[in-house]
Amino acid sequence: MLDLGRYKGIIFDMDGTLIDSMGSHIEAWEQTCLHYGYPFDEAYMHGLGGVPTQKTAEILNQKFGLNHDPRDVAVYKRLVWESMDHTPTLIDETYQLFCHYRPSKQIAIGTGAERPHAEHLLQHHDLLDKLDALVTATDVTHGKPHPETFVTAAQEMGLQPSECIVFEDTEIGFQAAQSAGMDCILVRNGRIQK
């Protein structure tokens, strides 16, 4: 088991880090890109994991010179995702860490997902009531790579950023953790990078 003894709090990203939902989100983005005429690049879209959906639409508009209403794109993508027959599973390595450290450390989720989506997934896996803090795209002004998500999670746990470690699956999330003054460990394809 990874030794996290020097930290008082652990902050997990949700999609792709604690819950294996990135594949279905990428599939929903593929359909959304097709609908709105954005060229689809799977690796590029995965790299935007953790960025709130509306902000992702703004980035795509800018990248491809389009002007779709980001709120409309976000709603469409959410509806596509919700219509898919997919129940994400827990990622074993990070879930084992969650369970191992839950009795002795504070634990938060810092996610780019909207609050209703995050609460639904976390409740489905019986994790929602085990959290000391949940910070979603709904709760912040600036999504990742801005540090607000993680700084807010630390504040809600009553901790300093330096007392927390973050687990993330994207470079954007890694940047957000570093900007927040937190150590960060990447999770790649369900495996903790040591």
What number of H helices and E strands is found in the chain?
8, 8
Q: Which listed residue (13, 20, 132, 169) is catalytic? A: 13
Q: At what angle do helices 148-156 and 171-179 cross, to 10 degrees?
A: 60
Compute the Cα dihedral for 178, 184, 188, 194 and give only its sign: positive
CB 22 within 8 A of CB 169: yes
For the question of residue 13 being annotated catalytic, the response is: yes
- Between CA 76 and CA 83, with CA 78 as vertex, the angle to 5 degrees is 95
Helix segments in the chain, DSSP class H: 22-36, 42-47, 53-64, 70-83, 92-101, 115-124, 148-156, 171-179
CA angle, residues 14, 18, 23, in degrees to nearest 5: 75
Residues noted as catalytic: 13
